[in-house]
Amino acid sequence: MKADPTAQLRLLDLQAEDTAIAQLEHRRRALPEHAALAEAKTVRARLGEDLVAARTRVGDLQLDVEKAESDLVPVRERQARDQQRVDSGAVTDPKQLNAMLDEIAHLSRRISDLEDIELEVMEQLEAATAERDQKAAELGDLEDSMRALIASRDAQVAQLDAQVAVHQTNRDGIAPQIPAELLALYDRIRTRAGGVGAAELKGRRCGGCQIEITPIALATYAAAAPDEVMRCEECERVLVRTAAVEA
């Protein structure tokens, strides 16, 4: 393939723009905010599940407290009625009075047991409520942190995108100056060679693969006409001669 030496030199300018674009896109993908947000999303999902479980636990315990209280009401009422009858002197039969006193004692023990149950459930409710509130606070703090990360990420992405746009504009201006056949070759090589399709021949070394060129290949490059498009024998990238080649 042949191409005007000036067009070949423009390949290096094009490569510089493509390299800059690739580096900026890599920086955009590698922003630490991406990893931090991914981790935060995982933690948020776990905290969300924990919060739902804590809220469910609080709801269940609130029902248990209500049940414990409702269980106490009829027992207390019955004890109060019996105590009122005893205190009023309405029960005069000794056997009946003793039976009623035994029942009052039994009801007192029952009330004590039920109050212990209610107290235990209330303590569990207090602990569950504290845990729920803690999970809610942690989730709120995490979401605040995520919003800050998103704002930082978006600001940096916007800056990088703006820089990419500048280099893309430069590239769009250079590409038409290169013959279509040479440009197509460059793009094919760049696609399969890690983003580098053209490199400068620097002394005895390819600027793409950085491998020293053999004497035979160097002699070939030195003897080639200026408009001859040369390729590196190792990496097959287009080799652009920016100075006279010394075999």
Name which of 159, 179, 140 is nearest 51 in CA terms. 140
Per residue of the chain (247 residues), give pLDDT as tens: 999 999 999 999 999 999 999 999 999 999 999 999 999 999 999 999 999 999 999 999 999 999 999 999 999 999 999 899 888 888 788 888 899 899 999 999 999 999 999 999 999 999 999 999 999 999 999 999 999 999 999 999 999 999 999 999 999 999 999 999 999 999 999 999 889 999 999 888 999 999 999 999 999 998 999 999 999 999 999 999 988 665 5
Contacting residues for 168 by C-beta, under 8 A, at least 6 apart: 17, 21
Please, what are the domains in the chain? 5-25+179-240 (no CATH), 31-160 (1.10.287.1700)
Q: List C-alpha distances in Å: 137 to 29, 49, 60, 85, 131.
A: 31, 14, 21, 54, 10
DSSP state of 193: T
Beta partners for residue 205, in sequence order: 202, 212
Contacting residues for 173 by C-beta, under 8 A, at least 6 apart: none
**DSSP-based helix, strand, coil % in the chain, nearest 5:** 75, 5, 20
**Would residue 194 be called left, alpha or beta, if left means φ above 0 and alpha means ψ between -120 and 50 degrees?**
left
Name which of 236, 229, 226 is nearest 182 in CA terms. 229
159-204 pLDDT tens trace: 999 999 999 999 999 999 999 999 999 999 999 988 999 999 988 8
